[in-house]
Each structure stands twice: as structure tokens, then as C-alpha cells.
Amino acid sequence: MLSPSQYQEKMRELRAQPYWWDMPDEAYKEMEAAVGPDKITRERAVRQAYVGRGYARELIWFSGQAYPPCCVVQPETTEEVAEIVKICNKYSLPFNPCSSQWAYNANPRFRPDQVQIDLQRMQTLEFDKKNLYAKVGAGVRYGHFCQAAFDNDCYFINTGGGSASCVVANHTVWGCSPLNYRMGNAERRVLACTWVTPEGDIVRTGSWAGKDTSAESGFWGDGLGPNLNGIWRGHIGWFGAMGIVTEMTVKVFSFVEDAKNVMVPEGVSPNTHLAFKSKRVAWQNYVMPSRQALEDVMYDLSHAQVGAAMTKVPVFWRIIAKAQDKEDFWERWSGTTKEDIDNFHMVRILLIGFTNDEQMDYERAVMDEIMAEYGGKATRTKPSDESWFKNADTAGMWMMTNGYSSCEAGIECLRCTYETGKLLGKRLWEAYTPPFMAEYGDPGWFQSNDFGHSSYLEFLVYMNVEKCDPISPAYAPEYIASMISWYFEETPDIDAQTGFLDFFPASCHGILYQGPEFSNYQVWTDRFKDMFDPKTVSNPPAPYDPEFVTEMLPPFMLNKSRRKMRSIERGKSMLLQ
């Protein structure tokens, strides 16, 4: 264990800049005038509270690449956000928008001079249940949004990032959830929007583009002519590098009537759930006889447009759900063998009788018929929801090892996600176990999206965080080197074999765009970025400041990793011929 002085010495080696950076008084005073003194501070104790959140903290915070912001400001209105952004431009201060602070890019990284724009006070949440859309502010989280949906006899996804994730932020990117099976990806559900550009202009899109926006419904997403929402949203998106979306309207979906009394919270922590008080909502687990049968049944069910969600569950997720604590997990998991993993194929399907009992009966009958064809065996499934409707236990995934990373995530065709998951699982088991947690070749989490039009794959690796922490007695730089090698050398190779487009390297580093497959795309994203953010103040370096990132990459990132990322070629598509 390092003493404070040893830690400071170590951090002086790792940190490229001094930890604290004091912003100019003039800029601070102007911001204070814009929002009022209660909503801004540059006290160090507040700034420190915003350091090192969410994913990848072991790579960014522990390695000295996360800095406190130079101030924290909590605007309450779009106009206040725009004012702050304009002041940032005036003084060339980079800004970093955040709400849940759950993403890689929602905290200052790599530089200490960023203004933290904390959007959590923006809590607009209005439903129009008759017209199936809702207006949502940038501070609203999924858990609250989902309950609001139930209160209005609607339902909505809960994202893979968890209930604490921000609804607006997730709609600027893919916003993945098993419930996307029926609803499609989040960025495609965006309607009208209020967007503060990187230079501080307020742009309103869709129905809100009219002069009197307060009179407009927000029902439409497209404006006249081109849809400007396309500038800031995307599968990968800009992660705060194209200004700030402060509010939007999103599509919501009708549910079983009297929804709030159908999905009833029960239990005492930690064993709580939404009890299904209607037979028109049910999860059903099936064990399939083979990996191939699992893949085929997901394909066929999707084509039959049956179900409301369909997801393959990694075995250890089930053990996490059963484990009383970390030690219990390891006791249970230590009895698992590669054979167990190879021979266990479970698919979890959500059925909803949206309209009546007959719809439920029909869906179940079709499902049973298809399952019978592939030899699927229904297993006892609780009449409740522990995760995905309102609660999503993403935080619980930290329980086993206190750290994990999604090394791959993306949306491709069903076959591509199957194959990519299999190769990743195999390679991880053969060459990287240890140092990573033994997953015995499990092919990760994948699900059907858009009734099988596409599929989502997320492959997680679980690491011993203490080995990444310079303050821990277990600290091992070679461990971090293995992680880097896995993320930046191995996974791109596998992607190249299957044609899988991995979101994470692109969203985190921008470097992927420099590969030969993206040369023209990069030119045009460069032009957009230069045009809208000439001073590069909108959340640098995410996701698109490759030169800056290349310069500022943590010292442990090997040169060969950089070269690999620059040279990788995308593999051949696995779409069915």
C-alpha cells in the first residue's frame, strides 16, 4: 500500500499535467452571472467529487488520466446551457456535459481545464399517452422514466447501462436494451429536440422548429428538408463532442392497461422485483439442446415477430443473480467447468399480451411450436421482472470482481454477433484466462433487435481491478498491458474475421476512424466537427480528436496497439447470402 507521499510521487510520473487547474476569474464570474451563484462552484471539494466515474475507471482514473474539472455548473434551462457554452467558447475552455456520469466520456479525462456541465437539474418529464410520446429533459434517468411510462399505461426500454443512465444521452447513441427487440434502437426513437451547438446556438428540430416552440407538440422528429437531428445522433454518436442536447421528445409504447398495477414493486432489498399481476406479462426461459439450436430459434422467433424481448444470458449472470455476495458467487462459480458452459444454452423471452389474453395465447402458442421444433425445454421462470423493465442491475455486474469492461459492443446481423461472440469467448479463454476471470469460452451477451433485423452483442471481460490500481499491493503493470493487448490487438483481429463493427474503440478513441475502411467517413466527420466546433471545446477528446488522444494516451498504451488500431481492416460482411 502506497503512502500519500509515495502515491503523489507515482502520480507525478503518470499524470501529464498538474492535478488542479484554476480557471480565469473573469470566465467564472460570467458563468456565475449566467446561472446564479447557487448553481456553480469551483470549490476543490466539489470538483473532486466528479472524478473517476463509471466504466473504465481502472484504465483512466487509476492511471492518472482523470482530472477534476475546473468548475462545476448545473444549468437548469436550455438558455443557461447555451450561455455557459458561449462563455466556454469565449475563453477557449473545453466543456464536458454529464447527467448520470455513467459513460466513459461523462467526466473530464486527460486534461484538468474542463468545465463540468452537470445537467441533472433538467428534469422535464411529460407524457402524452394518447399520442405515445414523452418530453424528457437531460437530467432524467431511465428508472424514473420507466415508472412514468407505467403510470401512463405505456412502457419503454431500460438500457443496458442501467436504470441510472440518462435517457437523453442514451438517445444520442444506440441506447441498447433487450426491449429493443420490439422498439428498435434508441437513437431512432428521437422526435423533436433542443440542441445547443458547440458554439452555444440553440437549434430546435422536428415539431419544435416553429417560432413558438411552447405551442408545439414535439410529435414530429423530422423538420422541413433535412433532419438536423442526424448531425448529433448516431449509433456511436459524438459523446458530447457535438454540443449538448438538453431535451427531446421520444416515442413510447402502449402496454397492458393499468400498467402500474400490473407491474408492482415487491420485496425488501436486495431481493426486490416487479411482480407481474397479470398473466399478460411473462418472462420465459428455455434451455436449448445446442448452440446452433439457440441461434436458430432466436432467428425463427424473430421472424415470427413473437415476443417483446429475446436475449441469450451468459451463465455467470445467472449465478450473480443467485449469489448472496461476492464470496458466494466465487464459491458457486468455482464449481463451473468449460463443459458446463459449452453445454448450457439458455434464451430468455419476454411475452406481452398488449391487447388481450388472446394475443398472449397466440404468442405463447407460436413460441411453443417453434421451441418444440428445436427441442427447447421451458424451465421454471419467476412471474416477475428483476431486470430490464425498470430496474437494470448493471451495477451488480461489478460485484464479482469490482471491475469489468465491455471490450466489444455493437449491432450487426444475428449471425455476425453469434460468430464474433464465439471467437471472442474462445480466444479469451485460451490466451487471456488468466489474467481475466474465467468465462470458459462463454460467447457473451447477445440479443435480437428489431424483430431480428439486427442483433446486439456485448462482450464483457472481468478483471481484478486491484491489479490496475497503483495504490494496491496487488498492482501489476503487466496486468494492464494484458488488458491493452486484449482490447487493442486481439479484439480488432477477431472483428476483422467476422466483420463486426465494434462501437467502443470508436467511441472512446476515435482512432478506429483512421483505419482504411473509414477514410472518407473520417474526412466528413472532421469537416462537421471543424464547422460546428472550431475551437474544439465540446468535450475533447471524445470521440473525435485522434491527434490529441494519440498524444495524451496513457503511457501504458503500447505503440503497437496504436499502430494496430490504425491499420485494421474491416472483415467481410456475414449477412445471409
User: CA-CA distance, 569 to 518, in Å (whole number)?
Assistant: 9
Min separation Cβ 28 and another protein, Å: 15
CA distance 228 to 112: 32
| Minimal distance, residue 210 CB to another protein, in Å | 28
Phi, psi dihedral angles at 22 (to 5 degrees): -95, 125
Residue 3: CB minimum distance to another protein, A:
9
Q: Which is nearer to another protein, 257 or 569 (CB)?
A: 257
Q: Give 144 or 279: the residue with its C-beta nearer to another protein.
A: 144
Nearest residue (CB) to another protein, 225 versus 270: 270
Which C-beta is closer to another protein: that of 272 or that of 381? 272
Smallest distance from the beta carbon of 378 to another protein, in angstroms? 25
Q: Which is nearer to another protein, 92 or 272 (CB)?
A: 272
Q: Tell me how far, at minimum, the Cβ of 285 lies from another protein, in Å.
A: 20
Helices marked H in 304-443: 315-322, 326-333, 338-342, 357-374, 414-431
Q: 4 or 226: whose CB is closer to another protein?
A: 4
β-strand partners of 228: none
The 3-state DSSP class for residue 392 equals coil
3-state per-residue secondary structure call for 553-577: CCCCCCHHHHHHHHHCCCCCCCCCC
Number of C-beta neighbours around residue 297 at 10 A = 23
Measured CA to CA, the distance from residue 133 to residue 208 in angstroms comes to 14
Task: Collect all residues with Cβ–Cβ distance below 8 Å to 8 and sequence separation of at least 6.
Answer: none
DSSP state string for 495-544? HHHHT---HHHHHHHSGGGGSGGGHHHHHHHHHHHHHH-TT--BSTTTTT
Q: Among 359, 395, 549, 386, which Cα is nearest to 53's?
A: 395
Q: How many angstroms separate the CA atoms of 418 and 465, rounded? A: 29
* Nearest distance in Å: CB 337, another protein: 19
Cβ distance to another protein smaller for residue 10 or 235? 10
Q: Which is nearer to another protein, 464 or 514 (CB)?
A: 464
Least separation, in Å, of the C-beta of 41 and another protein? 6
CA 99 to chain centre: 13
Tell the smallest beta-carbon distance from residue 443 to another protein (Å).
23
Contact 543, 234 (CB under 8 A): no
